[in-house]
């Protein structure tokens, strides 16, 4: 009659094992970047490859599991900033700053999340499968932000559609600017945040033309 108790113990043991493996993978990715090999991860965990494959199926599975952890963590931090009880502009700036601080603190993790080095499927589907390849993190963030906007901002008719578009657009803006900024560090984080918020606040439309060109 030990069957249920034994099974449960084994299940929790497997889960703990899985966490250990993920932590080892985390260390290796942090050290070697996204192109960390399965051999290296297995070695770091003190075991050999086939065990990794039994737990995660293939490299894509491991990477997906790893990405989910970080994505969830970042997402919850962003949600907190997004839900703060303050003015809209202040909240937008706080969210931008949270994101930028996160990628600034752990650039290797960020890089891994954005470029999962071509995930899983060798996909025999040879059709136009563009869309799945881009970093899942950006998609999730975009969808999430779209929902928040749709819930809280009055955009008139077609607001659902427009909110989603804006969600993905704003996330993309944040990501691209952050990626560029992280490379060159041409200014402080505060200035970057303020400039992006200014952009979202319509300063592009309000600004006047400079003399010399035909305007922009």
63 makes contact, choosing from DNA, a second copy, none, with CB < 5 to 8 Å by partner type, with none
Show the site string, 94-123: x = touches a second copy by CB under 8 A, - = not: -------------xx-xx--xx-xx-----
Helix ranges (H only) for 57-106 are 59-82, 88-105
* Tokens read off for 103: 């990628």
Contact region for a second copy (CB under 8 A) — 16-24, 39-47, 67-75, 179-187? 179-187
Q: Is 53 in the site for DNA (CB under 7 A)?
A: yes
Based on its alpha-carbon atoms, the radius of gyration of the chain, rounded to whole angstroms, reads 22
Site for DNA in 188-207 (CB under 7 A): none
CA atoms within 13 A on the CB side of 193: 16
Cα–Cα distance between 138 and 89 in angstroms, integer?
22
| Count of residues that interact with DNA, criterion CB under 7 A | 25
Cα–Cα distance between 169 and 141 in angstroms, integer?
10
68 makes contact, choosing from a second copy, DNA, none, with CB < 5 to 8 Å by partner type, with none
Do residues 50 and 42 make contact, with C-beta atoms less than 8 angstroms apart? Answer: no
| Sole binder of a second copy in the list 38, 101, 138, 189 (CB under 8 A) | 138
Pick between residue 4 and residue 214 the one whose CB is nearest to DNA. 4
Using DSSP, state whether 147 is helix, strand or coil.
Answer: helix
Q: Is 2 in the site for DNA (CB under 7 A)?
A: yes
């Amino acid at each position: 009659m030990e069957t249920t108790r034994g099974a449960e113990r084994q299940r929790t043991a497997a889960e703990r094992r899985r966490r250990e493996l993920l932590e080892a993978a985390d260390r290796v990715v942090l050290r070697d970047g996204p192109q960390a090999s399965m051999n290296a991860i297995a070695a770091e965990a003190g075991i050999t490859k086939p065990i990794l494959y039994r737990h995660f199926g293939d490299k894509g599975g491991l990477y997906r599991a790893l990405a989910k952890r970080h994505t969830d963590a970042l997402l919850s931090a962003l949600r907190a900033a997004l839900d703060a009880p303050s003015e809209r502009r202040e909240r937008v700036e706080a969210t931008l700053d949270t994101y930028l601080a996160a990628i600034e603190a752990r650039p290797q993790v960020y890089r891994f999340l954005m470029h999962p080095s071509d995930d899983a499927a060798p996909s025999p589907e040879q059709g136009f499968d563009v869309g799945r390849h881009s970093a899942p993190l950006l998609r999730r963030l975009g969808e999430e932000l779209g929902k928040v906007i749709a819930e809280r901002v009055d955009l008139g008719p077609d607001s659902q559609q427009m909110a989603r578009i804006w969600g993905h657009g704003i996330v993309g803006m944040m990501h691209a600017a952050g990626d560029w900024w992280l490379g060159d560090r041409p200014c402080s984080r505060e200035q970057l945040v303020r400039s992006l918020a200014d952009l979202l606040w319509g300063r592009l439309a309000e600004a006047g033309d400079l003399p010399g060109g035909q305007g922009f």
